[in-house]
Amino acid sequence: MRLIFATHNPNKVREIQSIVPGYIKIQSLAELDYHTPIIESGFNLEENALMKAKTVYDQFNRACFAEDTGLEIAALHGAPGVHTARFAGENATDEENIHKVLAELGEETNRKARFRTIIALVMSPEEIYMFEGLCVGHILNAPQGNHGFGYDPIFQPNGYDKTFGEMTASEKQAISHRTHAFEKMNTFLVRYRSPR
């Protein structure tokens, strides 16, 4: 079985390929020489993931999946959410996004947060499936660690004494929201199709 992953990020492709069985081959948009920007104008993660997956499915008429991930902070009413990558502006750096989150939280004591990944899988126009992965934790008062990317230095998962930014890639992957969502999709795919 071949699946298109609606991403150009080779690290994400490697991550999912390491989770799914060997008979499922993952292809990225870069491998298909598809470089047309996909508009992400949804009001939530589900809409964005589905837009990306449907756009690519319509282009290639092949099974496709896409993911969208957001940081949702309780005291900010779920923000940055769908705007996670550009919370501080369209071309904001990770540092600028972190600064804006910390500034908006200020002295707030409720620092509960979660990373949430949504995967939209389009097997056909009539067969659309969604999978969710969560990692719950809280936002620190200042960045710690320089591993990872995005908000990793200020997000500390519940039950751990270090941030994503202080964890190794394998430590983070073992508990990450993205891994949880991919594992749910993998479980579904194993049941959906037998090896061909």
Residues classed as catalytic: 68
Phi/psi of residue 142, nearest 5 degrees: -150, 155
Contacts 24+ apart (CB under 8 A), 159-166: none
Beta bridge partners of 25: 2
Residues 90 and 88: their CA atoms lie apart, in Å, by 7
Please choose, from the candidates 99, 146, 136, 96, the residue with its C-alpha nearest in 3D space to the C-alpha of residue 116.
136
Please choose, from the candidates 74, 68, 76, the residue with its C-alpha nearest in 3D space to the C-alpha of residue 100.
76
Please choose, from the candidates 163, 112, 103, the residue with its C-alpha nearest in 3D space to the C-alpha of residue 136.
112
End-to-end distance of the chain based on CA atoms, in angstroms?
7
Please choose, from the candidates 72, 77, 64, the residue with its C-alpha nearest in 3D space to the C-alpha of residue 31.
64
